[in-house]
A and B are shown apart, each in its own frame.
Chain A
Amino acid sequence: MTAADVYAILPLIVLGGASVVVLLGIAVHRSHSLTLILTLTGLVAAFLLLPLVSIEAPRQVTPLLVIDSYSIFFSGLIIAASFIITVLSYSYLSQQRGHREEFYLFLLLATLGSVVLVASTHFASFFLGLEVLSVSLYTLIAYSRKEYGIEAGVKYLILAGLSSAFLLFGMALVYSELGTMKLAQIPTSLSNPSSGVSQVFVLGGLALIVVGIGFKLALVPFHLWTPDVYQGAPAPVTAFVATISKGAMFALLLRYFTVVNIHNYPSLYLAFVVIAIASMFIGNLLGLLQTKLKRLLAYSSISHLGYLLVAFLASGPLAAVAVAFYLVTYFVTTLGAFGLITIMSNSDRDAEDPEDYRGLFWRKPWIAGSFTAMLLSLAGVPLTAGFVGKFYLVTAGIGSALWLLVIVLVVTSGIGLYYYLRVVVAMFASLPKGSTIAPAMRISPHFTGALAVTILVLLLFWLGIYPTPILRLIESMVTGFS
């Protein structure tokens, strides 16, 4: 490693350093607000370094990481989302008893793991980044150590462990045939006719890797953990699982399967088509049956990842732009929705029952209005970010003539609209006379959480009405990764 290599990975070093500073800070003086400030400083410093690093991009740092504009864009997205989640966590944890400070340490380290994932070009960095993310998430999910949280943590632990094992065995199969773990060498080893590569084993290995990735993305049929973990985890952690963990994994999926051209493997391609259609249908249909809001958002996220697969399968430069833009809108909307759940939750439980939201508009018009905006964006209604994102997905799909997938996308979006609107209608319904207000509704939101949500609402409309600047940015950064 040279000095230039170290310079290129400065954001990673800053994130790692910030976690050590936070740890030492907790040891010296246990203070919730001090820990928050240290964490936010670390995140901001890492974010501000990204433009400086991008001057040197693209740069291959050892065989393991590549710092190109693609990884820098997604690192920025991850760090920004982590900033919002940190602020929301402060609002959430202010009401909790017990030790709260270590929470931020895990947020920082999970962010670090995600940034490693989006820059990974080698199985080792893939696996290690994934595990740093996963092991941090086990702790974060069970952090409250209430019954629900621990149960969700154990479920996530067992299923994530299983998927890691599948991923690892898939990597072993690919390595056994190709003799390399470097992403860039996989296509060349594959096309080398003299090596006598058995396609069956490579295909089997890639399929097992897809199982591992599909679990993290909660695609059908690897989605079984999602509703339970979403419900059991603290709301900010659920936001992390829904956005950063999935976004980082999707960025990695796009990079790996663009290099290993997925169109060379018809059976794998078909498997992805089936997974996409199943995710869109299951996500939207089972979402109809949910009454608890966090479970509803779990099925919503399953269907959104299905939509993203449409652009992924379309491939080509437009697809990468569509995926990146959709991920931005998905991040903003999902963070907003979970942010609102966060600021309405109290120390006993997260606000997710239907009673918590009935007639919300008449008591907290701002919260109800913001929530309506987020749900409409998730449903993809015009003037919101979700609509523009979905428009680009459909454009990418049509561009590659994926008619079946596009039709399924449109039809299932229509089904999904119903359950989002059901929540919206409940919020505007009038309260029956003499009814008691659910305890979760009596709290007034912490100003940090409210500020974060306000920013997200503004972003939502900005992306929905005038997406051109962010699209220009994405077009200049995301296309053309090696």
Chain B
Amino acid sequence: MSALIFFFTFALIAVGAAVGMLFSRNAIYAALLLIVNFASVAFLYLSLGAPFIALAQVTVYAGAIMVLFLFVIMLLGAERLPPSQELPWQRPLGIVLAFLLLIEAVYGIVFRVNSAATLSLPVVEFATPAEIGSALFSTYLLPFEITSVLLLVAVVGAIVLTRAEGGARRRALVSQITQAVATEVPEHKAETPEEEKELV
């Protein structure tokens, strides 16, 4: 019974936060609500015998990814979202999708055959960080290496896409940022793209 209460508490928080994010008019609020959602899902992971994943969820998702989101929102000054004009087909499509969701939820809870299966934590230790680690470095060594390649792509990609060079408008933006960052106005004005990069 207590397990059910635990589940519904965090499930409701997660869904509520997701709905809030969906309709939030403020990007910062949306990001914070998404963090609430991730955190409550992390609690559910703990109840599912996945302590390692739960902590990774908090550190990677809530800690790293969402901080990056907040950083970019504030960098762009895009906190306030203008009331968006909806395309004509969006609302009907949304209603249809929501209806499908409802049908699926009813189907799943009422009619699903093996829904009787319940989850209980195994008696023996399951998915301890040590076990995860040994699986990660034996059976799953290869995909682990592929993720390192993926992170390499991400690191270099992010640098390549955001490095500042060329273009009059971009130069103006760069000098704006430079002035905002530096307390004193830089002694020498940027003449070439390369110098700008150093300034930034």
Give A contacts to B, CB under 8 Å. 1, 9, 16, 19, 23, 61-65, 97-99, 102, 105-106, 109, 112-113, 116, 124-125, 128-129, 131-132, 135-136, 138-139, 142-143, 145, 153, 196, 198
Contacts and interface: CB of A to CB of B under 8 A. Distances in A.
A138 B157 contact: yes
A113 B193 CA distance: 33
B84 interface: no
Contact of A105 (B112, B140, B156): B156
A65 B142 contact: yes
Contacts of B15: none
Given A97-B166, A128-B146, A135-B157, 17 more contacts: A1-B141, A1-B142, A62-B140, A62-B142, A63-B139, A98-B165, A106-B153, A109-B152, A131-B150, A135-B150, A136-B153, A136-B157, A139-B153, A196-B113, A196-B114, A198-B113, A198-B114
Interface size class of B (residues with CB under 8 A): 20 to 34
B102 interface: no
B12 interface: no
Contact of B143 (A9, A125, A142): A125
B153 A109 contact: yes
A61 B141 CA distance: 11
A124 B146 CA distance: 10
Provide the main secondary structure of the chain A interface: helix
A97 B167 CA distance: 12
Provide the main secondary structure of the chain B interface: helix
Given A23-B156, A143-B160, A198-B114, A128 B150 contact: yes
Contacts of B141: 1, 62
B153 A142 contact: no
Interface in B32-75: none
B22 interface: no
Nearest to B104: A204
B169 to A, nearest CB: 10
B147 interface: yes
A62 B139 contact: yes
A364 B114 CA distance: 69
25 contacts: A1-B141, A1-B142, A19-B149, A61-B142, A64-B143, A65-B142, A98-B165, A99-B163, A106-B153, A106-B156, A106-B157, A109-B152, A109-B153, A124-B140, A124-B143, A128-B143, A128-B146, A129-B146, A131-B150, A135-B157, A136-B153, A139-B156, A139-B161, A153-B161, A198-B114
